[in-house]
Structure 1
């Protein structure tokens, strides 16, 4: 259909299941393994397939450059699905777009990534390059009844005395608690930090619990010196957060039984029940800014095969930006940031 090999013909090198990072570029619809010295360098006209294996987790990433062709994007989705099957459906599948990469993706490259113009079809024009520095991520943890973590701007102005924050530097994860934060927020921030370490940093990051006024040197280096006075706690902020989190996500069931994608609204809310995810079906969790595709173990083969295609059709249907982050998770291999939307599933 897209000029790529049929799924039955796709073969992967024997080392693809070995520990570590493996990077492939799609050239004329075929996978070409790249040497380690090329890892972290991406051409804007190409699509790449990456797989990271460790004893704690397995992840597949499809990276699309800003000038990647439709055929190469389609080939990337096919290869991602087939590699997922090849690795016994253990890896989480992720779709990445140039300039909008996830924290999980960037953590693979401690020294940052480099963008080069052109691609295979254009003869790798090297007129310019853009080096992206290592990225840090700041998560704001707040609420009283519905406590949720959401990424926020990396600056001291995002902080306040009444909430908790998680600063993820890749090697270290700092849990910062404001002097007026509540015990539920502190416990939730701590638990989420350990879950990020274990599932997304593969157990390699160090978690440090710190209090307001005890900021370590690395945190000050990243954010600058802490202001003498941060904003005080505001009960209305927690109330507003609870109300927002109550409406915070939408769950849809997706089906192709009629021959085309059908989306059925399941519900809105801060916390869903794990039992709402039925093994016979596939679901989309729309979190505004990021969507998750959940594949049930007994979903029909076509629905499972087209996970990334389904995600992109959903983005088009909802008129979301094509750069919206997409993560495909299979039943039994859900990430902590996905599970936080479900009651008693952490």
Structure 2
């Protein structure tokens, strides 16, 4: 799949981090790593289990079993929300994630559906076009069709994925204000991550200039207000610092006093950036 999902209970954090680092090294440092915590899993993680997830007590008897399902086609849903500081976030692939006041992107691989709620503001309408174009041009190398849909004009393809459309929830200006606050981000350059980590704030206002990401270094994009931390590993960065990426994230979370169990971590080698990461930068294309 080209990614490593790390899911653990607190008692096994150290062992899990060690195994993830060993697996990342074995695969040449190329996978994107997502750290997940039981009870706070992201939609990306839960989408890997179409039949749902049940927790077991663990130990030898639970075993490791080969997955019976393939990676399958791309099916993701992004919500675009805000007024002054608009961002996309991945949400559950369900009509329950929708509301009249936001815009959404249903990413189906070859087709990218841009859906505009009847009460969405003009800034969200502009951003949904930007994100859809970003997915098409960077993730699909221009080989996907963008379909623009207004609420009430849903296509058969959309209904086949999501099912019959229910009555959608309303949205309020207060929700947009809350999204503006949680969408804030800062960018830090990391040095000496293997010892006493030193951070230099590169920018505290996004969108950032893409050329701030220097290939010889590692960077932390802090979206902790939304419960997410990204570690970007430049292709020319020190090998020891690359291996210490998860420790980097944990040290940063502790330094910023973010809740460790609720803060998701995404580790991105240069060239493997996700759309959610790219959206914080100007003109990624």
Task: Note whether the superposition's TM-score is higher than 0.5.
Answer: yes
1:320: Cα distance to partner?
2.3
Between the aligned partners of 1:180 and 1:158, the Cα distance in structure 2 is 12
1:256 aligns with 2:192: yes
Gaps of 5+ in 1: 1-51, 53-58, 126-135
TM-score (norm 1): 0.61
1:109 aligns with 2:52: no
Instruction: Please list the CA deviations of residues 173-200 of structure 1 after superposition, one character each: whole Å capped at 9, or x if unmatched.
Output: 6432123546764454245346558988
Instruction: Please list the CA deviations of residues 28-72 of structure 1 after superposition, one character each: whole Å capped at 9, or x if unmatched.
Output: xxxxxxxxxxxxxxxxxxxxxxxx1xxxxxx22143332652442
Between the aligned partners of 1:237 and 1:210, the Cα distance in structure 2 is 23
Q: Which residue of 2 aligns with 1:212?
A: 151
Equivalent in 223, 229, 234 of residue 296 of structure 1 = 234
Q: Which residue of 2 aligns with 1:165?
A: 104
1:71-150 superposed matches below 5 A: 71-85=14-28, 89-120=29-60, 123-124=61-62, 139-143=78-82, 146-150=85-89
Secondary structure at the counterpart of residue 220 of structure 2: strand
| Greater Rg over alpha carbons, structure | 1
1:152: Cα distance to partner?
6.1
8 Å Cα contact 1:143-1:242 kept in structure 2: yes
Between the aligned partners of 2:204 and 2:221, the Cα distance in structure 1 is 10
Q: 1:101 to 1:170 in 2, by over 3 A?
A: farther
Secondary structure at the counterpart of residue 115 of structure 1: coil
Between the aligned partners of 2:81 and 2:216, the Cα distance in structure 1 is 35
Secondary structure at the counterpart of residue 281 of structure 2: coil
1:331: Cα distance to partner?
1.8
1:1-346 superposed matches below 5 A: 52=1, 59-66=2-9, 69-85=12-28, 89-120=29-60, 123-124=61-62, 139-143=78-82, 146-151=85-90, 159-161=99-101, 163-167=102-106, 174-179=113-118, 181=120, 185-186=124-125, 188-193=127-132, 209-215=148-154, 219=159, 225-227=165-167, 231=170, 240=177, 244=181, 248-256=184-192, 259-288=195-224, 289-317=227-255, 318-346=257-285
TM-score (norm 2): 0.72
| Number of equivalent positions | 269
Q: Which residue of 2 aligns with 1:16?
A: none
8 Å Cα contact 1:138-1:151 kept in structure 2: yes
8 Å Cα contact 2:104-2:115 kept in structure 1: yes
- How big is the alpha-carbon RMSD for the aligned residues of Structure 1 and Structure 2? 4.1
8 Å Cα contact 2:98-2:169 kept in structure 1: no
8 Å Cα contact 2:99-2:170 kept in structure 1: yes
